[in-house]
Chains A and B, each alone.
Chain A
Amino acid sequence: MRVLMFGWEFPPHISGGLGTASYGLTKGMATFGDLEVIFVVPKAWGDEDQSIVKLIGANQVPVAYKKVHYQGFKRPIEKIEIESKIVPYTDPEDFWRMTRSEVSGYKLMVHTNNSGMVDFSGRYDRNLMDEIYKYSVVASVIASENDFDIIHAHDWLAYPAGIAAMEASGKPLIIHVHATDFDRSGGNVNPDVYHIEKRGMDAASKIITVSNLTREIVINRYNIHPDKVETVYNAVEPVSFSGESIRLKGFDEKVVTFLGRITMQKGPEYFIEAANKVLKVMDNVRFVMAGSGDMMERMMRRAAALRITDRFHFTGFLKGHDVFTMLEMSDVYIMPSVSEPFGISPLEAMQSHVPVIISKQSGVSEILTHAVKTDFWDIDAMADAIYGILNYPDLARMIIKNGKEEVIRLKWDNSARHVRDIYYRVIENK
């Protein structure tokens, strides 16, 4: 079976959860002999690992002077010269630089965040929509030039591409919901994005969600029939230390880490308040907020106002090896997300032998038992959990040991097998 997959990013050029998840999944699929994946991204850099998939960059597809049979919901297109300007790999650091200096144009908006979404920092740029439609135009070209049995589109930026490919080829479409705009915006949904999402969900033969939390949102908020929506949990790649020696921390205090985009969805303010509470009762602890995002400056001012900045550190955006170092230094990992469709990062922390505290409003909490779960707004419970893990070594040891065992069982192979089942069912029903 050949799968035409539309994604947004592919290793090594990934900026977050979506790239990690879609790569893990395709890698898992490669272990089954009967699946062949053609992976399409808006821009291929040429240095991607193509051993397991055939990777197509939309920026490499020559579309000029071709007649395109695509009656998009925007405007009929006769002929178009594509020069894809979608640059999904802008890292958050660059993104902030750009927003600050008010760079005009589409590049501004096509930053993808940890879950692979585009941030709509209140400034909605028509140009991004143009890029999405351009991607979908290329998709229909790719669909007509390749042979495949099923289409699989990851997240809303790729839905129009998936629909275009479906319309060009007549093959069934599966969409994979890694997040909805309800998660990203905290309820303040952008109608255009909602429209694209809804259209993708309606067009699809089957919808895969990354957790039941997301499944409920899809069913209730997008009015999708429950039978059409199925949850396939994400997994985690076994960590491979690159062999470089990891620097140990140079101080005695314990370290509590928040690692992720500093944005409303991730609940950074609850972390600060909990940290403040913990610091009132113990002082041999340091808190780290690693990452960058639109709320970082506000968070720094809050920490400063609480007078805890000598114990509450900001690192800015961390890349590659620094992430491992950060985890290695940590005694507690906390993810107080307000709305997290899944959340792979706690799994990575557990692999690095770090006890995790996660919010009940995260998809990953559905499958983890050896993690402390609190409501994202319950800063007392959070502070309590932090204090407990730091001060009762037996508790920490137990969580670490059982957590490690638990996380080893979460393999991409299992997720891929589940997706493969769905493929067969969809094709049979057709």
Chain B
Amino acid sequence: MRSNGKKAICFYFQVHQPFRLKRYRFFDLGHDHYYYDDFSNESIMRKVAAKCYLPANKIILDLIEKHKGKFKVTFSITGIAINQFRLYAPEVLESFRNLAETGMVEFLAETNSHSLASLKSRSEFEHQVNLHKEMVKKYLGVEPTSFRNTELIYSDEIGSWVADMGYKAMLTEGAKHILGWKSPNFLYCNAMNPRLKVLLRNFVLSDDIAFRFSNKEWIAWPLTADKYAGWINKLAPSSELLNIFLDYETFGEHNWKESGIFDFLAHMPGAILKKTPFKFMTASEVADKLQPVSAMNIQNPISWADEERDITAWLGNELQAAALEKLYSLSRKVNRCDDDHLKKDWEYLQSSDHFYYMATKFFSDGAVHAYFNPYESPYDAFMNYMNVLSDFEIRLRRCFPDTAEQDQIFKLGTQVIEKDMVIEKQSEEIEKLKRKVSRIKPAVKPAVKKLTKASELIIEWNRSEKKAAEKSSATVKKRSGKTTSGKVIEEPVRKTKEKVPSKKISSTKKITAAKKTGTKAKVTRQKKSK
């Protein structure tokens, strides 16, 4: 056993509340662009704030003051949760800011919308992490230096992206199937970029608090701070780092106040400091002070969810795969669009929670899933989400039409403008010629029956006009077949003498109209060349 004397315990709490969607029906498509269930979002936030965030923050603030620098915790608050605090519970945000000011609390970076971007697109992932960094800076006044991904999803590759973005540590699950014989109670590093330290969650100690605390069937019930500290002390000889990662709602919401969870929280740090050699450290501090023992090889993404510790809670069935794929197929377009409302919705629609509701693995972890799920069935959740996503796509397309379509419109537009210029030029010419003709006419008037040069000119003019008209309509048909393919063209075309109806005009009509006015001029040109 290495014994450089430094033993750390890292408490990290996750704070997140999604923007739940309202019942959005197929009929609402294209009509209703507001997707959120304000009532449940607000009431849940108010409830959780009163039962958990505010009392727990108060206790932690007291603990920090009491232990004078010896008690430290780490938080991660999603951008969505921050926005909900701003909307529904500003006093919670204020109390987190107070915690930040003590200097004993670290705030982690993560994806702004608690999204699954890390599984789909690196650029979207990085974009979201940067967004979140700004949010944390703006509303909590600190700059995050360590990172946690949504639901502690982690793989070597994701870790390397995070390292490239300059973070020093990343948190993930100490999943049995990736650890094998190894212990989670040491510091590890990323396999692709060893500069990134990896903190592994001790799921036994964590779940003791999160899931078993109020379970009266549990052999260790009731769990007291001293008992817990005793367990930790037993681990001391063979451990350097204990990572206790919890949903913050564990305090007061998942375990009610009546279960004694707040008393546990209030006494646990004192007991640990007194009875064990462990020191409280934040995630970044751990990364700075401890030495990693080895690299962690994790090819397939893991997470802290369910028994499997994998990503099947969000990406385990066809529905989830289809929805996620559809969602991120829109990302390129969203990024090029600068509508603030769309961007907000885009953020909120990415929450992993929407995909969690679609999980069909009801058998092993159904209880936990059902607890968080506002829908009656995963199919219900899917229907609703896809309807919302379809409406979102409709709006996106309105704000930003398909590139292919737009290119086509642009091409046709320039074509029409070119034609217009030709028409203008040629009609001028026609005018000129007409004037010429009329000047000649009075001179030949007395000798009507004799074919003059001028009348010959007129006759031939008429004849070739017909021919040209036929020809032009034929070419137009050909071209329109290639370019329009029945698409709706909405580009208003200026300068044409024909008024272009805004919808569904076939380019054939338009161009023939343009040509018809142009034929006369063309004829004269043909003539000239003869």
Contact = CB atoms under 8 A, between A and B. Distances in A.
Interface range for A: 20 to 34
Given A247-B31, A297-B379, A304-B322, A288 B390 contact: no
A315 B488 contact: no
Contact of A310 (B32, B377, B379, B390): B390
Given A250-B31, A297-B379, A305-B318, A310 B488 contact: no
Contact of A250 (B29, B326, B377): B29
Interface in A292-315: 296-297, 300-301, 303-305, 307, 309-311, 313-315
B28 interface: yes
Interface of B is mostly: helix
Contacts of B32: 250
Contact of B389 (A100, A250, A300, A310): A310
B30 A310 contact: no
Contact of B387 (A100, A304, A313): A313
A57 interface: no
Contact of A296 (B25, B323, B379, B386): B379
B383 interface: yes
Contact of A322 (B27, B323, B394): B27
Contact of B322 (A100, A296, A307): A307
Nearest to B393: A310
B27 A251 contact: no
B325 interface: yes
Nearest to B28: A250
A300 B360 CA distance: 12
A301 B379 CA distance: 9
Q: Which of A286, A310, A311, A322 has the most CB atoms of chain B within a 10 A radius of its CB?
A: A310
B382 interface: yes
Given A304-B321, A304-B322, A313 B386 contact: yes
A307 B26 contact: no
A40 B30 CA distance: 46
Contacts of B28: 250
A296 B380 CA distance: 11
B381 to A, nearest CB: 11
B29 A310 contact: no
Given A247-B31, A250-B31, A309 B379 contact: no
Contacts of A249: 27, 29-30
A261 to B, nearest CB: 16
A316 interface: yes
A264 B304 CA distance: 40
Contact of B486 (A97, A286, A311, A391): A391
Interface of A is mostly: mixed
Given A304-B321, A316-B383, A391-B486, A309 B326 contact: yes
Interface residues of B, number: 30
B382 A300 contact: yes
Interface string A305-349: 101011101111000001001100100000000000000000000
A102 interface: no
B382 A315 contact: no
Given A247-B27, A250-B31, A325-B27, A300 B383 contact: yes
Q: Which of B26, B30, B377, B383 has the most CB atoms of chain A within a 10 A radius of its CB?
A: B26
A252 interface: yes
A309 B26 CA distance: 12
B318 A301 contact: yes
Interface in B313-360: 317-319, 321-323, 325-326
B30 A304 contact: no
Interface string B357-398: 000000000000000000011011011001101100110000
Nearest to B386: A309
A251 B26 contact: no
Interface in B428-484: none
A112 B25 CA distance: 25
B505 to A, nearest CB: 15
Contacts of B379: 296-297, 300, 314
Contacts of B322: 303-305, 307, 309
Nearest to A299: B379
A315 B26 contact: yes
A251 B386 contact: no
Nearest to A314: B383
Contacts of B382: 300, 304, 309
Contacts of A100: 377
Interface in B22-56: 25-32
Interface in A257-297: 284, 286, 288, 290, 296-297
Nearest to B30: A250
Interface of B: 25-32, 317-319, 321-323, 325-326, 376-377, 379-380, 382-383, 386-387, 389-390, 393-394, 486, 488
7 contacts: A247-B31, A249-B29, A300-B383, A301-B319, A304-B323, A305-B318, A313-B386
Given A300-B383, A326-B27, 9 more contacts: A249-B29, A250-B31, A250-B394, A252-B488, A307-B322, A313-B26, A313-B386, A314-B379, A391-B486
